[in-house]
Amino acid sequence: MKSDKIKIGVIGVGHLGQHHAKHYNLIKNITLVGVYDTDPNRSKDIAIQYDTKSYDDISELMKICDGISVVTPTKSHYNVAKMAIEEFDCHVFIEKPITETIKQANRLIQLSKIKNKIIQVGHIERLNPALRVLEKYNLNPKFIEIQRLAPYTIRGTDVPVVLDLMIHDIDILLSLVKSDVKSIHASGVSIITDSIDIANARIRFNNGTVSNITSSRVSRDKVRKIKIFQENLYTTVDLLMEQTEIYSITKDPSIIPNVLQTKPFTYNNNKKFIAYQKPNLKKNDLLGLELKNFVDSIKGKDNPIVNGVDARNALDVVIKINNMILEDLN
């Protein structure tokens, strides 16, 4: 550490970066030492708002930091993160997607190992309580259906919908299925922008799990839903509402805790029950939790919930999906 208290800086304080500054300002026993943005007026405004210093020179800020958040547009993630790790020995939190290319992600991972620095990546949904509650269940999915729909906004349209939205769900999918990807089929269309606005991917894993994922940035309403089916269990996860419903098939519902409803049925002359649970979930500020996880990981008290390798693996699948969609259109 460069001093007793962990020193954090935020690079890029636009729409999301301002919230990084806000949260770091609230985390105890660390110091938000400064912010830097290529737009100096924005940098000054955010520095005043969160009681920190605005830097005109990125090196001057990195020099005094133990960790930095990289919240710039995706095309600059690699250069900013590389500079922070290689030249200034900083731990880095990089917003998703980690980089534009797999080669860049691999280089950052390699540098972080050489320099013994943490890379954490902002796949924030992994902290969603609606997903985390499933850690208590013995998940072994056979089929996973994921839908993420969002109304159109200009933000995020610098990249295809697969890299902007679907990457969240690919990361979740890879965390749920402990097996390698066997095959991918994908298709997509442009509706508003010059790149892909609606995409669908069917992914099969070596262990037989099948998934079907749809992402769209042309929707009236926001939808972020996951349905997981496995032997004797079906669950629906609403990431937006932070609610999870679990239906278990059992001979004896009394062994399942907090069952709200049971429904009997008979199959092959065996009487069974569908037991319904809807756990009470505490809503949390996910970004606050994510940045606390980064700080605790720097302190050696925790590990990043999504590290550079996880993020690289999600990017790898997403790039394959995107290439497949483009080939399909030609």
Interface ranges with ligand NAD (CB under 6 A): 11-17, 36-39, 42, 71-74, 76, 80, 95-96, 122, 124, 155
With H, G, I as helix, E, B as strand and everything else as coil, classify residue 61. helix
Least spacing, CB of residue 311 vs ligand NAD, in Å: 11
Q: In this complex, which beta carbon is closest to ligand NAD, that of residue 38 or of residue 323?
A: 38
174 with 314: CB under 8 angstroms?
yes
Least spacing, CB of residue 99 vs ligand NAD, in Å: 10
Structure tokens at 158: 């610098």
Q: Encode burial over 27-46: b for 16+ CB neighbours within 10 A, e otherwise.
A: beebbbbbbbbeeeebbbbb
Helices (H), 262-306: 286-298
Residue of 279, 16, 249 lying closest to 131 (CA atoms): 279
Q: In this complex, which beta carbon is closest to ligand NAD, that of residue 95 or of residue 169?
A: 95
Q: In this complex, which beta carbon is closest to ligand NAD, that of residue 71 or of residue 146?
A: 71
Least spacing, CB of residue 94 vs ligand NAD, in Å: 8
CA–CA separation, 208 vs 142, rounded Å? Answer: 7
Least spacing, CB of residue 178 vs ligand NAD, in Å: 24
Q: In this complex, which beta carbon is closest to ligand NAD, that of residue 14 or of residue 279?
A: 14
CA–CA separation, 297 vs 289, rounded Å? Answer: 12
Q: In this complex, which beta carbon is closest to ligand NAD, that of residue 157 or of residue 230?
A: 157
Structure tokens at 49: 């708002």
117 with 90: CB under 8 angstroms?
yes
Least spacing, CB of residue 155 vs ligand NAD, in Å: 5
